[in-house]
């Protein structure tokens, strides 16, 4: 895993390029502590921070092909690089290293920008063609690796993290209110938006070409739709899944450095660890954290799987110091991020990195095999939608607005007034009402012209004839998975210089799961039906029927106790008030209601706290870090 960055030379003198690359690379050192490299010519400057995983001696970057025409800076892993290498060697390409990076150069030599279709893996890269003066950026199919870019006039810059772009002089820090609207609704900002109006994220499965001053983006892959009829018996589907899973895990065990796996005690991570024991000839190491808080520890469940599988298990008790940790998390995320499970993700990554450099995780299982509780609740809110939207707005919106914001019925009335899709309350977001209640009038006016659920509706429209479960899964796989789950895992693992691999997100396995009939993903209230059916081959039935807990923290208790004074200090400070984003009186009321137990506002508080800390870290002249 690495950090990549670069820029076009049209606005810079070559003499200054080296120093600018050095500054950008320093900000990404956590992504690649094992070395750095640069390439500079009259057209572009490319930089790289390296975390050594494969070909420890010969894999330095930026890397050029044997003919010195192409140069690439690459973040990620190409898992089928050995097969591709054999093919390209037969066709005359001369390899100079054992690195998977060189496979990208060879694939581009033969296929141009279509090279991305060859790769099985996770990747973000920038490739410069010296002869045609063309810059290619690319991101993997599921969005496991991030890639940001900035263009204003003749200036074009890209990087793994936005902070490196902010190191350049004169990059505007103008807030994008459409992105802020997304954050205040869902707790994250989906691509192509970022919190800054002039910086964008490349979408998953997208390439970008910059040539002759013209910028073009293209989507090279999409999720397939379910097959119209069952093609195989249930047992045949189980065997297909088993084969795909074993191959996905086997290919992700290639490493020249120590490797292990996260083990939470849930089905997804246990599936990965179990598969590792069957396909690896080395002892498997698993890592679990214990939060030592009743209801939030999965250690006992993890130990059952450890005993059954016979793996080497490391457990670490965590006593979280959220006051110390939060500013660090804000720095690593670059833009506001409201998912509090970033805290345990950071701690388990920190613990694992003390023992290994590469980790396998169970990310993706809920999206692929229908594991979220919201999928079970998808029909609960449909009766209300039989009323016309205009009538619902007229009936319910005024009542909702008249109620005090602590009234429990207000959320349902808001949903009843505005829901437009075959979806539950998540259609309006996790935090859809915070904008009306605690944001200032000025900010509300800026936000009201944006529709945060537009992307969801566009996906629903593409799948108009599909069942509701398929629609929800596609939305989560295309938006929630890359922008929340994978963003969180990338940033928290890379903050600790740890590479994380997700076998369940092998695109061939993803395509297989997407084509499954709905009754093989959820049946009679059983989520992840087919995956559970498979794992009955390897675990006792009672071990795979545990209630899903999720990677959560006791955020309600934190906001009432250990974080309480810190929250009041940040959100009620004059700096926060004078910024003009929050309604100070409403924030005071919200904090009072939470501290006295009238209502749990911990998720709202966490969202606002992270936003204000972000302003202090990246916007305020006297405290910003870059």
CATH of the domain at 63: 3.60.20.10
Residue 266 and residue 203 share a domain: no
Q: Following DSSP, what letter does each residue of 518-582 receive, concatenated?
A: GGGT-BTTBSSHHHHHHHTTTS-GGGS-PPP--S---HHHHHHTTTHHHHHHHHTSHHHHHHTSB
What span, in angstroms and rounded, lies between the C-alpha atoms of 174 and 171? 9
- Render pLDDT for 432-466 as a digit per residue (tens, 0 to 9): 678 888 999 999 999 999 988 889 889 988 888 88
Confidence at 157, pLDDT banded by 50, 70, 90: very high
Lowest mean pLDDT segment, chosen from 42-56, 99-113, 114-128, 190-204: 42-56
pLDDT of residue 502: 98
Secondary structure of residue 479 in the 3-state scheme: helix
> Regarding predicted confidence, which is higher, 304 or 247?
247
* Residue 579 lies inside a defined structural domain of this protein: yes
Q: Are 123 and 84 in contact (CB under 8 A)?
A: no
Tokens 């009238």, residue located: 598
Secondary structure of residue 232 in the 3-state scheme: coil
Q: Are 319 and 345 in contact (CB under 8 A)?
A: no
At a CB cut-off of 8 Å and minimum separation 6, what does 487 contact? 146, 188, 333, 337
Helices (H), ranges, 260-379 = 267-279, 299-309, 322-333, 342-353, 365-369, 373-376
C-alpha torsion 139→353→563→187, nearest 10? 10
pLDDT of residue 425: 58
pLDDT of residue 546: 60
Residue 523 and residue 475 share a domain: yes
Q: Are 12 and 45 in contact (CB under 8 A)?
A: yes
The β-bridge partners of 415 are none
**Of 512, 543, 574, which residue sits at a domain end?**
543
* Residue 380 lies inside a defined structural domain of this protein: no
* Residue 438 lies inside a defined structural domain of this protein: no
pLDDT of residue 386: 74
Domain containing 606: what range?
Answer: 554-618
Neighbours of 20 (CB within 10 A): 19
pTM score of the predicted model: 0.94
**Of 192, 219, 246, which residue sits at a domain end?**
219
Residue 57 and residue 86 share a domain: yes
Task: For 416-469, give the secondary structure using H, E and C.
Answer: HHHCCCCCCHHHHCCCCCHHHHHECHHHHHHHCCCCCCHHHHHHHHHCCCCCHH
pLDDT of residue 422: 58
Closest listed residue to residue 530, CA positions, set 180, 230, 219, 107: 230
- Render pLDDT for 12-37 as a digit per residue (tens, 0 to 9): 556 688 999 999 999 999 999 999 99
pLDDT of residue 411: 73
Distance, CA of 2 to chain centre? 16
Given 2, 118, 559, 576, which residue is catalytic?
2
Cα–Cα distances in angstroms (integers) from residue 48 to residues 159, 475, 593, in the given order: 10, 33, 49
What span, in angstroms and rounded, lies between the C-alpha atoms of 187 and 173? 20
Q: What is the mean pLDDT of residues 575-600?
A: 92
pLDDT exceeds cutoff 60 at 78: yes
> Regarding predicted confidence, which is higher, 490 or 410?
490
Query: What's the mean per-residue pLDDT of the chain?
Result: 91
* Residue 155 lies inside a defined structural domain of this protein: yes
**Of 219, 243, 261, which residue sits at a domain end?**
219
pLDDT of residue 56: 85
Residue 596 and residue 572 share a domain: yes
Closest listed residue to residue 554, CA positions, set 340, 335, 240: 340
Residue 561 and residue 538 share a domain: no
What span, in angstroms and rounded, lies between the C-alpha atoms of 305 and 169? 52
Query: Is 115 labeled as catalytic in the residue annotation?
Result: no
* Residue 34 lies inside a defined structural domain of this protein: yes
The β-bridge partners of 44 are 8
Residue 535 and residue 576 share a domain: no
Residue 599 and residue 478 share a domain: no
Confidence at 482, pLDDT banded by 50, 70, 90: very high
Residue 311 and residue 184 share a domain: no
Residue 152 and residue 270 share a domain: no
* Residue 391 lies inside a defined structural domain of this protein: no
Q: Are 608 and 600 in contact (CB under 8 A)?
A: no
* Residue 442 lies inside a defined structural domain of this protein: no
What span, in angstroms and rounded, lies between the C-alpha atoms of 428 and 124? 31
- Render pLDDT for 315-368 as a digit per residue (tens, 0 to 9): 988 777 888 999 999 999 999 999 999 999 999 999 999 999 999 999 999 999
Written as six digits, the tokens of 77 are 């892993």
Residue 367 and residue 269 share a domain: yes
pLDDT of residue 10: 65
Written as six digits, the tokens of 249 are 């895990």
Residue 184 and residue 69 share a domain: yes
What span, in angstroms and rounded, lies between the C-alpha atoms of 562 and 422? 40
pLDDT of residue 226: 87
Q: Following DSSP, what letter does each residue of 495-510 receive, concatenated?
A: TTT-EEE-GGG-HHHH
Write the CATH number for 365: 3.40.50.620
* Residue 113 lies inside a defined structural domain of this protein: yes
Domain count, the chain: 3
Residue 477 and residue 352 share a domain: yes
């Amino acid at each position: 895993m690495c950090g990549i960055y670069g820029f076009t030379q049209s606005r810079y003198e070559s003499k200054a390029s080296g120093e600018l690359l050095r500054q950008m690379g320093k900000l990404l050192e956590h992504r690649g502590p094992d070395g750095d490299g640069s390439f500079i010519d009259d057209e572009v400057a490319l930089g790289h921070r390296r975390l050594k995983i494969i070909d420890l001696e010969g894999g330095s970057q930026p890397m050029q092909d044997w003919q010195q025409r192409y140069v690439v800076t690459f973040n990620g892993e190409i898992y089928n690089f050995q097969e591709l290498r054999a093919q390209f060697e037969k066709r005359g390409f001369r390899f100079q290293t054992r690195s998977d990076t060189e496979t990208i150069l060879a694939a581009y030599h033969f296929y141009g920008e279509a090279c991305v279709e060859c790769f099985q893996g996770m990747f973000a890269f920038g490739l410069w063609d010296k002869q045609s003066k063309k810059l290619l950026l690319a991101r993997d199919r599921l969005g496991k690796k991030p890639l940001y870019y900035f263009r204003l006039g003749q200036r074009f810059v890209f990087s793994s993290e936005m902070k490196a772009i902010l190191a350049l002089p004169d990059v505007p820090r103008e807030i994008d209110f459409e992105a802020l609207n997304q954050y205040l609704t869902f707790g994250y900002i989906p691509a192509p938006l970022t919190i800054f109006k002039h910086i964008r994220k490349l979408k998953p499965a997208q390439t970008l070409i910059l040539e002759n001053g013209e910028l073009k983006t293209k989507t090279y892959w999409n999720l397939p739709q379910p097959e119209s009829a069952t093609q195989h018996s249930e047992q045949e589907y189980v065997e297909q899944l088993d084969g795909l899973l074993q191959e996905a895990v086997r290919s992700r065990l290639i490493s020249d450095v120590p490797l292990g796996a996260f083990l939470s005690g849930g089905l997804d991570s246990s599936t990965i660890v179990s598969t590792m024991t069957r396909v690896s000839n080395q002892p498997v190491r698993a890592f679990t954290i214990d939060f030592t808080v009743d209801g939030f520890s999965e250690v006992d469940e993890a130990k059952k799987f450890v005993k059954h599988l016979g793996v080497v298990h490391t457990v670490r008790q965590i006593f979280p110091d959220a006051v110390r940790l939060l500013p660090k998390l804000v720095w690593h995320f670059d833009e506001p991020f409201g998912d509090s499970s970033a805290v345990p993700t950071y701690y388990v990554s920190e613990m694992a990195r003390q023992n290994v450099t590469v980790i396998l995780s169970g990310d993706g299982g809920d999206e692929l095999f229908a594991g979220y509780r919201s999928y079970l609740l998808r029909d609960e809110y449909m009766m209300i939608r039989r009323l016309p939207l205009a009538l619902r707005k007229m009936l319910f919106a005024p009542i909702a607005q008249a109620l005090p914001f602590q009234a429990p019925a207000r959320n349902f009335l808001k949903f009843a007034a505005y829901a437009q899709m075959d979806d539950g309350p998540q259609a309006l977001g996790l935090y859809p009402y915070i904008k009306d209640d605690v944001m200032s009038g000025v900010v509300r006016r800026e936000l009201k012209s944006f529709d945060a659920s537009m992307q969801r509706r566009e996906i629903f429209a593409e799948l108009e004839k599909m069942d509701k479960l398929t629609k929800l899964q596609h939305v989560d796989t295309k938006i929630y998975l890359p922008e929340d789950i994978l963003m969180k895992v990338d940033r928290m693992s890379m903050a600790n210089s740890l590479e994380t691999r997700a076998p369940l997100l092998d695109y061939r396995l993803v395509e297989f799961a997407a084509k499954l009939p709905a009754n093989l993903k959820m049946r009679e209230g059983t989520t992840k039906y087919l995956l559970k059916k498979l794992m009955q081959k390897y675990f006792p039935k009672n071990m795979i029927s545990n209630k899903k807990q999720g990677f959560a923290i006791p955020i309600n208790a934190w906001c009432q106790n250990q974080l309480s004074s810190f929250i009041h200090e940040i959100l009620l400070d004059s700096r926060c008030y004078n910024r003009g984003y929050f309604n100070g009186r409403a924030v005071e009321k919200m904090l009072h209601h939470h501290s006295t137990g009238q209502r749990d506002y911990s998720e709202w508080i966490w969202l606002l706290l992270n936003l204000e800390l972000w302003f202090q870290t990246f916007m305020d002249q006297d405290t910003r870090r870059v």
